[in-house]
Amino acid sequence: MALLVDSAWLDDVAQVCRDFPVVGVTTNPTIVLAAVERGQKLSLVDLARELLALCPGPVFLQPVAEGADELVAAGRECLAIDPARIVLKLPMTADGLHAGKLLGSEGARIAFTAVYTLPQAYQGLLAGAEWIIPYFGRLRRAGLDACARIGEMARLLRAQHAETRLMVASLKSPDDVIEATLAGAHDITAQPDVIRAMVHSPLTSDALAGFANDWRLVQQALEQG
Protein backbone atom coordinates (compact mmCIF):
# COMPACT_ATOMS: atom_id res chain seq x y z
CA MET A 1 0.00 0.00 0.00
CA ALA A 2 1.10 3.55 -0.71
CA LEU A 3 0.05 6.93 0.68
CA LEU A 4 0.08 9.97 -1.58
CA VAL A 5 -0.70 13.62 -0.88
CA ASP A 6 -3.49 15.27 -2.86
CA SER A 7 -2.20 18.82 -3.22
CA ALA A 8 -0.44 21.27 -5.51
CA TRP A 9 0.56 23.76 -2.77
CA LEU A 10 4.31 23.31 -2.58
CA ASP A 11 4.75 24.22 1.10
CA ASP A 12 2.19 21.58 2.13
CA VAL A 13 3.65 18.96 -0.16
CA ALA A 14 7.18 19.63 1.12
CA GLN A 15 6.14 19.37 4.78
CA VAL A 16 4.00 16.25 4.36
CA CYS A 17 6.61 14.45 2.24
CA ARG A 18 9.28 15.32 4.82
CA ASP A 19 7.38 14.24 7.92
CA PHE A 20 5.08 11.43 6.80
CA PRO A 21 5.48 8.18 4.82
CA VAL A 22 4.17 9.75 1.62
CA VAL A 23 5.55 8.45 -1.67
CA GLY A 24 3.90 10.63 -4.30
CA VAL A 25 1.62 13.51 -5.21
CA THR A 26 -1.73 13.68 -6.97
CA THR A 27 -3.15 16.79 -8.58
CA ASN A 28 -6.08 17.79 -10.74
CA PRO A 29 -7.25 21.10 -12.27
CA THR A 30 -9.30 21.97 -9.17
CA ILE A 31 -6.31 21.41 -6.87
CA VAL A 32 -4.04 23.45 -9.16
CA LEU A 33 -6.61 26.26 -9.24
CA ALA A 34 -6.72 26.31 -5.43
CA ALA A 35 -2.94 26.76 -5.35
CA VAL A 36 -3.07 29.53 -7.95
CA GLU A 37 -5.77 31.34 -5.96
CA ARG A 38 -3.50 31.20 -2.91
CA GLY A 39 -0.83 33.04 -4.90
CA GLN A 40 1.28 30.20 -6.31
CA LYS A 41 1.53 31.26 -9.94
CA LEU A 42 3.39 28.40 -11.65
CA SER A 43 2.93 26.88 -15.06
CA LEU A 44 1.98 23.21 -15.08
CA VAL A 45 5.50 22.32 -16.25
CA ASP A 46 7.16 24.30 -13.46
CA LEU A 47 4.72 22.91 -10.90
CA ALA A 48 5.41 19.36 -12.00
CA ARG A 49 9.18 19.86 -11.76
CA GLU A 50 8.84 21.25 -8.24
CA LEU A 51 6.64 18.36 -7.16
CA LEU A 52 9.03 15.81 -8.64
CA ALA A 53 11.81 17.35 -6.56
CA LEU A 54 9.76 17.14 -3.36
CA CYS A 55 8.62 13.51 -3.45
CA PRO A 56 10.38 10.26 -4.31
CA GLY A 57 7.62 8.63 -6.33
CA PRO A 58 4.98 9.33 -8.95
CA VAL A 59 3.43 12.71 -9.65
CA PHE A 60 -0.06 12.57 -11.12
CA LEU A 61 -1.07 15.25 -13.64
CA GLN A 62 -4.49 15.57 -15.24
CA PRO A 63 -4.43 16.91 -18.80
CA VAL A 64 -7.61 18.63 -19.96
CA ALA A 65 -8.66 18.83 -23.60
CA GLU A 66 -11.68 18.48 -25.83
CA GLY A 67 -11.53 15.36 -27.94
CA ALA A 68 -9.32 12.29 -27.88
CA ASP A 69 -6.61 13.64 -30.19
CA GLU A 70 -6.26 16.83 -28.18
CA LEU A 71 -6.14 14.79 -24.95
CA VAL A 72 -3.34 12.65 -26.39
CA ALA A 73 -1.38 15.78 -27.33
CA ALA A 74 -1.87 17.30 -23.88
CA GLY A 75 -0.84 14.01 -22.28
CA ARG A 76 2.36 13.89 -24.29
CA GLU A 77 3.25 17.40 -23.13
CA CYS A 78 2.90 16.26 -19.51
CA LEU A 79 4.89 13.11 -20.09
CA ALA A 80 7.77 15.05 -21.63
CA ILE A 81 8.54 16.46 -18.17
CA ASP A 82 9.53 13.02 -16.80
CA PRO A 83 7.97 9.97 -18.50
CA ALA A 84 9.20 7.59 -15.80
CA ARG A 85 7.50 9.38 -12.90
CA ILE A 86 4.63 11.37 -14.39
CA VAL A 87 1.32 9.51 -14.30
CA LEU A 88 -1.50 10.79 -16.48
CA LYS A 89 -4.90 11.01 -14.83
CA LEU A 90 -7.37 10.56 -17.67
CA PRO A 91 -11.16 10.86 -17.57
CA MET A 92 -13.25 7.71 -17.57
CA THR A 93 -14.88 8.57 -20.88
CA ALA A 94 -14.66 7.21 -24.42
CA ASP A 95 -12.11 9.93 -25.25
CA GLY A 96 -10.17 9.15 -22.10
CA LEU A 97 -10.08 5.44 -22.88
CA HIS A 98 -8.97 6.14 -26.45
CA ALA A 99 -6.18 8.39 -25.21
CA GLY A 100 -5.20 5.95 -22.48
CA LYS A 101 -4.89 3.00 -24.85
CA LEU A 102 -2.76 4.98 -27.30
CA LEU A 103 -0.54 6.62 -24.70
CA GLY A 104 -0.23 3.36 -22.78
CA SER A 105 0.99 1.62 -25.92
CA GLU A 106 3.74 4.27 -26.05
CA GLY A 107 4.82 3.42 -22.51
CA ALA A 108 2.93 6.09 -20.58
CA ARG A 109 1.79 5.46 -17.03
CA ILE A 110 -1.98 5.82 -16.97
CA ALA A 111 -4.65 6.26 -14.31
CA PHE A 112 -8.36 6.68 -14.90
CA THR A 113 -9.99 9.14 -12.53
CA ALA A 114 -13.54 9.83 -11.32
CA VAL A 115 -14.43 6.15 -11.56
CA TYR A 116 -17.75 5.47 -9.85
CA THR A 117 -19.17 2.25 -11.27
CA LEU A 118 -18.02 -1.33 -11.71
CA PRO A 119 -18.39 -1.21 -15.51
CA GLN A 120 -16.13 1.86 -15.54
CA ALA A 121 -13.57 0.05 -13.40
CA TYR A 122 -13.74 -2.93 -15.75
CA GLN A 123 -13.11 -0.70 -18.77
CA GLY A 124 -10.16 0.89 -17.02
CA LEU A 125 -8.44 -2.36 -16.16
CA LEU A 126 -9.00 -3.71 -19.70
CA ALA A 127 -7.40 -0.53 -21.05
CA GLY A 128 -4.28 -1.33 -19.02
CA ALA A 129 -4.47 1.40 -16.40
CA GLU A 130 -1.90 1.26 -13.63
CA TRP A 131 -4.47 2.84 -11.30
CA ILE A 132 -8.21 3.30 -11.12
CA ILE A 133 -9.26 6.22 -8.92
CA PRO A 134 -12.72 6.22 -7.33
CA TYR A 135 -13.89 9.18 -5.21
CA PHE A 136 -14.92 7.96 -1.78
CA GLY A 137 -16.48 11.20 -0.54
CA ARG A 138 -18.44 11.83 -3.69
CA LEU A 139 -19.82 8.30 -3.69
CA ARG A 140 -21.00 8.85 -0.13
CA ARG A 141 -22.48 12.27 -0.89
CA ALA A 142 -24.39 10.72 -3.79
CA GLY A 143 -26.12 8.44 -1.28
CA LEU A 144 -24.16 5.32 -2.23
CA ASP A 145 -22.35 2.92 0.09
CA ALA A 146 -18.80 4.01 -0.61
CA CYS A 147 -17.19 1.13 1.28
CA ALA A 148 -19.32 -1.44 -0.53
CA ARG A 149 -18.47 0.08 -3.92
CA ILE A 150 -14.74 0.14 -3.14
CA GLY A 151 -14.95 -3.48 -1.98
CA GLU A 152 -16.73 -4.53 -5.17
CA MET A 153 -14.09 -2.80 -7.31
CA ALA A 154 -11.33 -4.52 -5.35
CA ARG A 155 -13.01 -7.91 -5.85
CA LEU A 156 -13.38 -7.21 -9.55
CA LEU A 157 -9.67 -6.52 -9.89
CA ARG A 158 -8.81 -9.68 -7.96
CA ALA A 159 -11.20 -11.77 -10.05
CA GLN A 160 -9.50 -10.57 -13.22
CA HIS A 161 -6.02 -11.10 -11.74
CA ALA A 162 -5.37 -7.52 -12.76
CA GLU A 163 -2.20 -5.61 -12.01
CA THR A 164 -4.31 -2.45 -11.91
CA ARG A 165 -4.37 -0.86 -8.48
CA LEU A 166 -7.24 0.87 -6.72
CA MET A 167 -6.29 4.32 -5.47
CA VAL A 168 -9.08 5.91 -3.43
CA ALA A 169 -9.40 9.70 -3.36
CA SER A 170 -11.83 12.29 -1.94
CA LEU A 171 -11.25 11.23 1.66
CA LYS A 172 -12.31 13.80 4.23
CA SER A 173 -11.04 12.32 7.49
CA PRO A 174 -8.65 9.73 8.94
CA ASP A 175 -11.66 7.47 9.50
CA ASP A 176 -12.45 7.68 5.78
CA VAL A 177 -8.89 6.57 5.01
CA ILE A 178 -9.17 3.51 7.23
CA GLU A 179 -12.64 2.62 5.96
CA ALA A 180 -11.46 2.78 2.36
CA THR A 181 -8.36 0.73 3.14
CA LEU A 182 -10.32 -1.96 4.96
CA ALA A 183 -12.78 -2.04 2.06
CA GLY A 184 -9.96 -2.95 -0.33
CA ALA A 185 -8.08 0.15 -1.47
CA HIS A 186 -4.51 -0.59 -2.53
CA ASP A 187 -3.39 3.03 -2.30
CA ILE A 188 -4.71 6.23 -0.76
CA THR A 189 -4.40 9.86 -1.76
CA ALA A 190 -5.50 12.43 0.80
CA GLN A 191 -5.24 16.14 1.45
CA PRO A 192 -2.43 17.36 3.73
CA ASP A 193 -4.74 18.11 6.67
CA VAL A 194 -6.17 14.59 6.58
CA ILE A 195 -2.69 13.07 6.53
CA ARG A 196 -1.58 15.23 9.45
CA ALA A 197 -4.69 14.36 11.45
CA MET A 198 -3.99 10.63 11.15
CA VAL A 199 -1.32 10.74 13.86
CA HIS A 200 -3.39 12.60 16.46
CA SER A 201 -5.24 11.04 19.38
CA PRO A 202 -6.13 12.53 22.78
CA LEU A 203 -5.00 9.28 24.41
CA THR A 204 -1.59 9.60 22.78
CA SER A 205 -1.30 13.21 23.97
CA ASP A 206 -2.24 12.19 27.52
CA ALA A 207 0.30 9.34 27.52
CA LEU A 208 3.09 11.58 26.25
CA ALA A 209 2.32 14.23 28.85
CA GLY A 210 2.62 11.56 31.53
CA PHE A 211 5.92 10.33 30.13
CA ALA A 212 7.29 13.90 30.01
CA ASN A 213 6.31 14.50 33.62
CA ASP A 214 7.85 11.21 34.74
CA TRP A 215 11.06 12.01 32.88
CA ARG A 216 11.31 15.32 34.72
CA LEU A 217 10.97 13.40 37.99
CA VAL A 218 13.74 11.03 36.86
CA GLN A 219 16.02 13.98 36.11
CA GLN A 220 15.27 15.57 39.48
CA ALA A 221 15.99 12.33 41.32
CA LEU A 222 19.29 11.90 39.53
CA GLU A 223 20.34 15.49 40.25
CA GLN A 224 19.56 15.01 43.95
CA GLY A 225 21.77 11.91 44.05
Q: Which active-site residues does the annotation give?
A: 89
Phi-psi region of 16 (alpha: psi -120 to 50; beta: other; left: phi over 0): alpha
| DSSP-assigned states of every residue in 172-207 | -SHHHHHHHHHHT-SEEEE-HHHHHHTT--HHHHHH
Q: How far apart are CA 150 and CA 171, in angstroms?
A: 13
Cα separation, 2 vs 24, whole angstroms? 8
22 φ/ψ angles, rounded to the nearest 5 degrees: -100, 135
Q: Residues 212, 198, 28, 145: what is their CA dihedral angle, to the nearest 10 degrees?
A: -170
